[in-house]
Amino acid sequence: MATPTTAGDHDESKRDFLTLTAGGFAAVGAAVAVWPFIDSMNPSADVLALASIEVDISGIELGQRVTVKWRGKPVFIDRRTPEVIEKAREVKLGELPDPQTDADRVEKPEWLIMVGVCTHLGCIPKGQKPSEPHGEFGGWYCPCHGSHYDTSGRILKGPAPKNLIIPPYTFATDTKIKIG
């Protein structure tokens, strides 16, 4: 319907050029306008400000497991006894779906620090309290879909694909750790 009166080739290619440039410009403009809205759903400044925490570990007894909250998730702190460490070291790498030595998972063998979220679908494994099930290998057991973790937090049996994640942390002093 909107046929130009002088429909020469030259004229039409000019029109195409204008349509394409205008369309391209509009697309870039739309993308620029959409970005602030998408980004507004990303973590806000106050959430990012809480990305690291300091934990005093002086009160934790040998053999005791403690849970702290970091970025909205539980972090398991386990002060392991020599027997428990020995048990973790005995596990053969070949048996592990996600092979990793116990030494790779700790800064100091006595302190095992992991994100307490099952790598299957995000449930919190049982085992922090003596009264809870610890799974077949004496570590942690996720009740949602039956994943068993060993005393190093490595997956040995069940649907979880990965070992429990080790968060970035440092020993600020002998009795204080900084997570995140």
Q: Which residues bind another protein (CB under 8 A)?
A: 1-5, 36-37, 39-42, 44-47
β-pairing verdict for 155-157 and 147-149 = antiparallel
- Cβ of residue 121: shortest distance to another protein, in angstroms? 25
Catalytic residue among 10, 120, 134, 145: 145
- Cβ of residue 51: shortest distance to another protein, in angstroms? 13
Q: Is residue 178 within 8 Å of 169, Cβ to Cβ?
A: yes
- Cβ of residue 13: shortest distance to another protein, in angstroms? 19
DSSP, collapsed to helix, strand or coil, labels residue 96 as coil
- Cβ of residue 1: shortest distance to another protein, in angstroms? 5
Q: Check if 10 is active-site.
A: no
Specify the residue, 71 or 126, whose C-beta has the smaller distance to another protein: 71
Q: Is residue 70 within 8 Å of 179, Cβ to Cβ?
A: yes
Specify the residue, 28 or 172, whose C-beta has the smaller distance to another protein: 28
Identify each DSSP E strand in the chain by its residue range. Answer: 53-56, 65-70, 73-79, 111-115, 140-142, 147-149, 155-157, 169-173, 176-179
Specify the residue, 42 or 58, whose C-beta has the smaller distance to another protein: 42
Sign of CA dihedral 63, 151, 167, 170: positive
Specify the residue, 3 or 58, whose C-beta has the smaller distance to another protein: 3
CB-count burial class (<10 Å; 0-12, 13-18, 19+) for 157: middle
- Residues marked as catalytic: 145
